[in-house]
């Protein structure tokens, strides 16, 4: 059995924008560049912890911080350079399909709208 979801005007507007090619904030190029730079900084911090910090400080803690920073940096880079770029290419298509499905089910024309009813 299909469940019907009530859409508000904001969701409909967002779907139309995405179907026309407008990317959400998380997928915009400046955001991906920022995440990539942060990932590189985390990787540099992890390398610095592993290589340049004195082993007298505590090997286990130093290694844990270094590996943790490396892991966070790699995840940020992987997300920004691979996952989000790949998803960004398919947002317009998936939003258009979503709109088409919701129009076919009549969900978009149902419910409250901000427009006045015709006289």
Distance CA 55, CA 78 (A): 30
* Structure token pair of residue 36: 């990539």
pLDDT digit string (tens) for 64-113? 999 999 999 999 999 999 988 888 887 878 888 888 887 777 766 655 45
pLDDT digit string (tens) for 30-67? 999 999 999 999 999 999 988 887 777 678 888 899 99
Within a 13 Å sphere around the CA of 42, how many CA atoms are in the beta-carbon half? 19
Check if the beta carbon of residue 39 is closer than 8 Å to that of residue 76. Answer: yes
Is the pTM higher than 0.85? The answer reads no
């Amino acid at each position: 059995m299909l469940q019907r979801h009530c859409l508000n005007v904001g969701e409909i507007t967002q779907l139309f924008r995405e179907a026309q090619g407008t990317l959400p904030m998380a997928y915009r190029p400046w955001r991906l560049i920022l995440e990539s730079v942060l990932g590189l900084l985390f990787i540099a911090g992890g390398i610095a912890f592993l290589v340049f910090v004195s082993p007298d400080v505590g090997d286990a803690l130093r290694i844990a911080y270094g590996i943790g920073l490396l892991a966070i940096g790699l995840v940020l880079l992987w997300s920004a350079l691979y996952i989000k770029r790949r998803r960004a290419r398919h947002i317009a298509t998936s939003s258009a399909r979503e709109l088409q499905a919701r129009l076919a089910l009549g969900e978009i024309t149902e419910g409250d709208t901000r427009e006045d009813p015709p006289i």
